[in-house]
Structure 1
Amino acid sequence: MTGTVNKGAALLMVHGLLGPIDYFAPARLLAGIDVHAPDMIGYGRHRSEEAGIDLPGQADALAHYLRDEVEQPAWLLGHSVGGAVAMMVADRVPELVRGLISVEGNFTLRDAFWCARIAALGEEEWAAEYGAMEDAPAAWLEKSGIEAYDERIAWAKDILSNQPYTTVQRMARSTVAETGKPEWLDLVRRVLVRDTPLYLLGGEQSAAGWDVPEWVLAAARQILVQPKTGHMMMLEDPRNFCRIVGSIIGGGEGSAGTAP
């Protein structure tokens, strides 16, 4: 890992449409960083909860988590839909956010193509499709362009069993609704105008399809690409993913390259 990690630096990791985000044990790979990876509402330990399964509700809950559990300004890392949630958190409690690491986070509706597809399905149709994914995690990985071997299949099982299909569909619909509002990019602008450090991280095989506005690219401190990976880069190569993240937090300006 390049750079020297600030002792006691805190990192709040926000999972995407499917959780969790700590299945690869990031705390073990990010030595010297206080890593937090809470389940959002409707996921994991909170899967039985019903109120707040939308982007604003998740952002509010994570803002409370920062105040009550982290107790210091933290770096926020958001993956995919989690990137949009992290941006909302930064808008709500800027004093508790040291910086943002957007890992192919949602900026526009073009990024929410899977969410849009899920949102448009009837509940029974989506329940059947999600059940098929749960029954065949290896096939789900292969369909995503990821070679399936034992460790990855075990992780895929954890991911798919982490939340009910209802949570996934409700979050998908909220993502489409929130990022489709004209006010959404105004929120992003507010965060960036405050000079909140923003780092963009994409996978080499998927970064070209990431729809990031030019003014966001211009505002980013650094644009990084993780080699030989796609959208689920932390599953494909967790060690390199954590090396890049640790370098950003440690001030080493991650060395994975610049996005095209």
Structure 2
Amino acid sequence: MLPVIFIHGLIGSFADPRALAPLHPAPTLCPDLHGYGADARAEPGTITIDTQVEHLRATIDQALPGGHVHLVGHSVGGVIAAAFAHRFPERTASLVSVEGNFSLADAFWSQQLAAKTAAEVEQILQADRADPGRWLRAGGIEPTREHLRSATQDLAYQPASTIHAMARTVVEYTAGPDYQQLLRDVFERVPVHLVAGARSRAGWDVPAWALSAAASYTELPRTGHMVMLEAPEEFGALLAGLLAPVSAGQVSTPE
């Protein structure tokens, strides 16, 4: 199988060994986006969708130079994945959008955070870090010991300044006049698989044209928006089934 790149969303990483295991022996990469993880000291003013795409390209080129890759983008990461596929179709074998933002309606949480001050976002993050169980329950997730461990790590993965900057750039980008055409171009150029959590599907604003043009559509039962946190093994097995046929087939380079 071709390499698989996991692109995380607004909060937390997108890396869980239990989800990666079914993809073995394919190379997998779960990079820290600009402003996250090892790059958490980034200046908020440098965080945009375009800089995230360039940061992702540089990271992929360093770890996996040349060749095609599969992109798996979650939520806000779906916007970055689509922007990468549009800019670098020659590197993109396929795109899996895991409840990726299709419109401003999808970015409702980003809209709320973007409208707040930096100090208000800091207060929200500190409150969530102090009570990760409440944060999980807000997403309909049972705060088991394993879920609490993952939530604690996710909430510590980025500073409030990064969350605020990402929320603002996502709102601006998805509301822009060119975003819908960008998405249509990506669907025409590469196979796009749509994946949703069964509990959260009703809130995912997927247009009819995207459902019709998608290479596949799957709902993971008994999960919500944070599918990797709730069902990592099932999610990894789903990806293996979706991506192996693309890797085995002939991948053509767009003209």
TM-score greater than 0.5 by the shorter chain: yes
**1:28 Cα deviation (Å)?**
2.8
Identity of aligned residues (%): 36
How far apart are the structure 2 equivalents of 1:98 and 1:116?
A: 31
Aligned CA distance change for structure 1 residues 100 and 223 (closer, same or farther; 3 Å) = same
User: C-alpha displacement at 1:192, in angstroms?
Assistant: 1.9
- Inter-partner Cα distance in structure 2 for 1:235 and 1:204: 14
- Which of 239, 243, 255 is residue 237 of structure 2 equivalent to? 243
Aligned residue type for 1:60: E
Q: Does 1:190 align with 2:202?
A: no
Would the aligned equivalents of 2:71 and 2:95 in 1 still touch at CA under 8 Å? yes
Among 38, 47, 59, the residue aligned to 1:53: 47
* Unaligned ranges ≥5, structure 2: 247-255
- TM-score with structure 2 setting the length: 0.92
Corresponding position of 2:95: 100
Q: What's the CA shift for 1:68?
A: 2.6
In 1, are the aligned partners of 2:16 and 2:228 still within 8 Å (CA)? no
2: distance between equivalents of 1:217 and 1:48? Answer: 38
Q: How many residues align?
A: 244
Q: What is the identity, as a one-letter code, of the residue corresponding to 1:34?
A: P
Task: State whether residues 16 and 232 of structure 2, in contact with CA within 8 Å, keep that contact through their aligned partners in structure 1.
Answer: no
Q: Which stretch shows the higher mean deviation, 75-84 or 115-124? A: 115-124
Q: Give the structure-1-normalised TM-score.
A: 0.90
1:64 is aligned to 58
Do 2:20 and 2:236's aligned partners in 1 also have CA atoms closer than 8 Å?
Answer: no
- Residue in structure 2 matched with residue 210 of structure 1 by the alignment: 204
Tell me which amino acid in the other structure corresponds to 1:41: H
Amino acid in structure 2 at the alignment position of 1:125: E
Q: 2:208 is matched by which residue type in structure 1?
A: E
**Structure 1 residue 162 and structure 2 residue 143: aligned?**
no
Q: Which of 71, 74, 88 lines up with 2:69 in the alignment?
A: 74
Residue by residue over 1:153-181, the C-alpha shift from the partner in whole angstroms, topping out at 9 and shown as x without a partner, is: 01000000000001001000000000001
Aligned residues: CA RMSD: 1.3
Deviation above 6 Å: which 4+ runs of structure 1? none
Match of 1:36 in 2: 29
The AA in structure 2 aligned to 1:15 is: H
Residue 111 of structure 1 pairs with residue 106 of structure 2 = yes
